[in-house]
């Protein structure tokens, strides 16, 4: 079964490359299909990982729940991309809420497994404040959005950063030689991906390279999270 996980991981890498190509050269329908195939793969990897290592379910189950909510978020944002590529759609809100619950699930898994150093909570507060300040600049579409949406985005940015700090505890508590410290790298990839996604939806000037980076870092983060199930004891 471990061979199946390796094969699926390779298929996910190929799928991300295909997703990037379709984003630039295909249409929205093709992009949504490939995106959901890629998202299905990381959920299946999580299920197989739990079957192979059922010893730490208080960690594994929240990780799988987070992957499932991420799947839903990918679907809703994929529908949003297909419609208008705007933050005004209900599907954008549904996607954001789905990813919020995914972040809560991931953070709970990390904290239950490794604990949390409370001084790290300053990082999400600072990043949330930065988002609120940036929202007042004319270069961001957030300036013209409703206050509710601004605070929703800032709140999500807080929880993404909180999950990142929760993952940092693996580097602080364990040595870099421990393979579980890779979870911190996954947290870093996730925060890069989601903050670039904010750029995609709310920044007036768009850069194609942003699409490549946010998709690559997002799926790398998901792959690190679901395969971490194999290493917890």
Give the torsion through C-alpha atoms of 27, 28, 31, 35, to 10 deg: 180
Average pLDDT, whole number, for the chain?
85
Q: Say if residue 85's pLDDT is above 60.
A: no
Distance (Å, whole) CA 105 – CA 63: 6
The reported pLDDT for the residue numbered 233 is: 60
Mean pLDDT of 122-151: 70
Q: How far is CA 92 from the centre of its chain?
A: 15
Q: Say if residue 74's pLDDT is above 70.
A: yes
Give the residue, 206 or 34, on which the prediction is more confident. 34
The reported pLDDT for the residue numbered 26 is: 83
Largest Cα–Cα separation, the chain: 52
Residues 6+ apart with CB under 8 A from 47: 64
Q: pLDDT tens-digit profile of 108-122?
A: 999 999 999 999 999
Mean pLDDT of 86-105: 82
Cross-strand bridge partners of residue 203: 140
The reported pLDDT for the residue numbered 45 is: 96
Q: Say if residue 48's pLDDT is above 90.
A: yes
The reported pLDDT for the residue numbered 100 is: 92
pTM across the whole model: 0.87
Distance (Å, whole) CA 184 – CA 123: 15
Half-sphere exposure at residue 119, Cβ-oriented, CA atoms within 13 angstroms: 1
Return the domain boundaries, the chain. 2-230
* Share above pLDDT 70 across residues of the chain, in percent, rounded to a whole number: 83
Distance (Å, whole) CA 136 – CA 119: 28
- Three-class DSSP category at 115: coil
Q: Are 190 and 217 in contact (CB under 8 A)?
A: yes
Mean pLDDT of 28-46: 93
């Amino acid at each position: 079964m471990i061979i199946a996980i390796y094969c699926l991981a390779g298929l996910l890498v190929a799928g991300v490359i295909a997703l990037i190509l379709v984003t630039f050269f295909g249409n929205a329908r093709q992009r949504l299909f490939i995106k959901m195939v890629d998202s299905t793969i990381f959920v299946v990897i999580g299920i197989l990982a739990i079957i192979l290592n059922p010893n730490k379910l208080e960690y594994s189950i929240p990780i799988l729940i987070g992957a499932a909510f991420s799947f839903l978020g990918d679907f809703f944002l994929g529908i949003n991309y297909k419609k208008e590529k705007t933050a005004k759609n209900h599907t954008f809100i549904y996607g954001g809420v789905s990813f919020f619950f995914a972040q809560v699930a991931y953070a709970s898994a990390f904290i239950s497994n490794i604990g949390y150093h409370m001084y790290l909570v300053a990082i999400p507060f600072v990043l949330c404040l930065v988002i609120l300040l940036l929202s007042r600049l004319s270069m961001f579409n957030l300036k013209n959005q409703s206050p509710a949406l601004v605070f929703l985005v800032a709140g999500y940015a807080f929880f993404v950063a909180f999950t990142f700090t929760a993952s940092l505890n693996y580097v602080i508590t364990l040595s870099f030689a421990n393979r579980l410290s890779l979870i911190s790298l996954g947290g870093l990839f996730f925060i890069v991906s989601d903050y670039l996604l904010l750029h995609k939806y709310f920044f007036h000037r768009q850069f194609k390279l942003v699409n490549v980076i946010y998709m690559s870092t997002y799926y790398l983060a998901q792959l690190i999270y679901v395969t971490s199930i194999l290493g917890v004891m």
